[in-house]
Copies of this chain bind each other. A is one copy, B any other.
Amino acid sequence: MSGDIDEALVGLGLRRTVPRLTILNLLGEAATPLSVLDLHRLVTSAYPMVNLSTVYRNVTVMTGYGVLHSIEHGGQTLYGLATTPHHHLICEHCGLLIEVPADRLDPAVAQVMADSGFKMEPTGQLLRGRCRRCRHAVHDAS
């Protein structure tokens, strides 16, 4: 199903193993980035013997090679395919996570960073806010 996603592995000199291909397929179908625990649950539902530490090692390796990208939130790390450059908006209230194309955000943020001598990371920024539904749901939130 992945078509050419796993081709990338070969090009990088990474072996095509069951855990790796399964992770790539799952992330390719997922609408949002997944945690390692989520990934492990999904992987083991098809291949029960795959170990949690194997999932950890693979997302780390593939992130290092640029195949995946990661964002930190709520004390854990989420992983997604590094396809089109994009960042994320997360709702602090309900956890809703959506992607925004990098070029929508780049000019604005890059300018702010450049003023401080920083060069912006091209992907994986995580911006915190409150989504439409949660804005309306709780006006009197504690």
What residues make up the interface of A, taking CB atoms closer than 8 Å to B?
A: 72-75, 89, 91-92, 98, 100, 104-105, 107-109, 111-113, 115-121, 124-132, 135
Contact = CB atoms under 8 A, between A and B. Distances in A.
Contacts of A124: 128
* Residues of A contacting B: mostly: mixed
Given A72-B73, A127-B109, A132 B118 contact: yes
When all copies of this chain in the complex are counted, the total is 2
A120 B135 CA distance: 11
Nearest to A118: B129
A121 B109 contact: no
Contacts of A129: 113, 118-121
Contacts of A132: 117-118
